[in-house]
Amino acid sequence: MNYLCPSILAADFWELGKQIALVEQSGAPYLHIDVMDGMFVPSISFGMPVLECVRKKSKLFMDVHMMVEQPERYIEELIRLGADGVTIHVEACNCIPETLSKIHALGAKTGLAINPKTPVSAVLPYMDLVDMVLIMTVQPGFGGQSYIMDCVDKIKEMRGIINQHYPDVKLEIDGGVTLGNLKMNLDAGANVIVTGSAIFKGDIERNVKDFLRYMEAV
């Protein structure tokens, strides 16, 4: 099963509510919320008030991507406000097992992310605590970047390990995904597809439906 996960980072914030409703009506199951702290990544995006507001109106699975140093500081509040899944970066957290366990104890799904230059081996010690691995396919921090081709081999490597040892773990990719490279990524083994610009720029309904049709056909 493949899951489309539109990233609101690329939305028009004047129209945020309407655009999320379009994504939901068009059949996307997940919504990706990119939280940036200006430290782990250069930019600052949005956080708790947006999450809280979206939760009140939307039933989409809220997939919160923490591009934040020491994300353990925010777990309780994120989940209290409605996060369904919280993904932390291996590069940003010195207490990974404790943080993943806390996410589980509070009733949410765990995700563990690696940057394009971080090897797959960095997530392996934590796999028993992980519901989803996120392989970044751009340098985190900004939407609208080009997909880094070197990441395809990492997706294949991770898929091999998941299939062999952790069949329930999802494999998410994030950054530079378009209809043009979707098949390559699905073939490599990704099954949670984050995409910002390719959904929110242009006709949102049509974009979601095009992605879903393609993902169901594979």
One residue of 177, 182, 190, 208 binding ligand DX5 per CB under 6 A: 177
Could you tell me which residues come within 8 angstroms of residue 70 by beta carbon, excluding any fewer than 6 positions away? Answer: 92, 93, 94
Q: Which residues are catalytic?
A: 34, 174
> Of ligand DX5, Zn ion, none, which one does residue 172 interact with (CB within 5 to 8 Å by kind)?
none
Q: Contacts with ligand DX5: how many residues (CB under 6 A)?
A: 22
> At closest approach, how far in Å is the CB of 195 from ligand DX5?
5
> At closest approach, how far in Å is the CB of 204 from ligand DX5?
13
Task: Name the token pair of 187.
Answer: 């073939």
d(CA 197, CA 167): 30
Taking CB under 5 A as the binding criterion, the range among 41-49, 58-66, 69-77, 179-187 that sits at the site for Zn ion is 58-66
> At closest approach, how far in Å is the CB of 163 from ligand DX5?
25
Could you tell me which residues come within 8 angstroms of residue 85 by beta carbon, excluding any fewer than 6 positions away? Answer: 61, 62, 63, 64, 108, 109, 110, 111, 131, 132
One residue of 112, 196, 207, 211 binding ligand DX5 per CB under 6 A: 196
Residue 65 interacts with Zn ion (CB under 5 A)? yes
Taking CB under 6 A as the binding criterion, the range among 7-15, 23-31, 185-193, 202-210 that sits at the site for ligand DX5 is 7-15
The helix or strand, by DSSP H or E, that contains position 30, with its residue range, turns out to be: strand 30-36
Where helices occur in 15-150 by DSSP H, the ranges are: 16-25, 48-57, 75-80, 96-105
Could you tell me which residues come within 8 angstroms of residue 90 by beta carbon, excluding any fewer than 6 positions away? Answer: 96, 112, 113, 114, 118, 122, 123, 126
One residue of 37, 63, 72, 174 binding ligand DX5 per CB under 6 A: 174
Measured in whole angstroms, how far is the alpha carbon of residue 168 from the centre of its chain?
Answer: 17
Residues 86-145 that bind ligand DX5 (CB under 6 A): 138, 140-145
Q: Using the minimum distance from each CB to Zn ion, give the nearer residue, 38 or 160.
A: 38
Phi and psi angles of residue 63, each rounded to the nearest 5 degrees, phi first: -100, 100
Residues that bind ligand DX5 (CB under 6 A): 7, 9-10, 32, 34, 65, 138, 140-145, 174-177, 194-198
Residues that bind Zn ion (CB under 5 A): 34, 65, 174
